[in-house]
Amino acid sequence: MAEIKDAFGFGNAICANGAMLYDLIGEKILEEWLVPVETQFMITKKLREAIPTVSFAVEINNTFHREKIYIPRWDAGLDNTGVDVAEDAMTAPALKILARCSQGDLSSDEMLVIATKALEGIAAVTHSNPHDSLLEIAALGVSKGETLAKMADRAGIAADDAVTFGDNPNDFSMLRWAGRSWAMSDGHPDGKLNAKFSAEPHHHDGVAMIIEELLELPA
């Protein structure tokens, strides 16, 4: 979040798909909505049954734990050898569980359909990359939209006064909530079904174009 802090210089950030409220300036966690240990075990059990080729990683106490067969796509997790099964690391409430088909036998969208049914009433499941084979799992009821609505209510800000942008399913809840929301035209094809408007692709500075238009509106 250091780059975001430098760019804005104020405010709080909703992180981890809504599971964390973070003080940008003070660089500290303000609130978290975590996955209980018993729920973590239930999640892995249900998904192993539904998707036999799945592997897991889990974020607990600011530490990234991964199974040895889980292949990270980013730096996180590359510097550790991993555990045999993720359940060995599930000793405290988790910020997020990641579920991956490392062989790419299912897309994120295909995994999401299966996992949504398997984890109904147990956890919130989404993804942020349709070109990968990765799910992001949070506590039941946790999403960007839910946390944004909660923070806005505390600040006395209505949905009609909020502006959101998003490109993938993990953004859809906040796109639906905000009175003015834009789906990136180069994002997930279902984005336009969840947003009020569509923005130009990110490589054409679509977000900046909309913000400039909004700043020209009368107060």
**Rounded Cα–Cα distance for residues 55 and 71 (Å):** 9
Residue 75 confidence (pLDDT) above 90 = no
**Rounded Cα–Cα distance for residues 209 and 219 (Å):** 18
**Rounded Cα–Cα distance for residues 191 and 50 (Å):** 26
- For residue range 25-53, list pLDDT tens digits in order: 999 999 999 999 999 999 999 999 999 99
pLDDT band of 73, cuts 50, 70, 90: confident
196 within 8 A of 216, measured Cβ to Cβ: no
The model's pTM: 0.92
User: Where in the chain are the domains?
Assistant: 1-32, 37-139, 144-219
Burial class (CB in 10 A: 0-12, 13-18, 19+), 216: exposed
pLDDT band of 124, cuts 50, 70, 90: very high
Please give the CATH number for the structural domain made up of 144-219. Answer: 3.40.50.1000
**Rounded Cα–Cα distance for residues 68 and 57 (Å):** 9
**For residue 204, what are its two tokens?**
């054409």
**Rounded Cα–Cα distance for residues 109 and 118 (Å):** 14
pLDDT band of 169, cuts 50, 70, 90: very high
Pick the CATH number of 37-139 from 2.60.120.10, 3.30.530.20, 3.30.1240.10, 3.40.50.720: 3.30.1240.10
Count of CB atoms situated within 10 Å of the CB of 52: 9
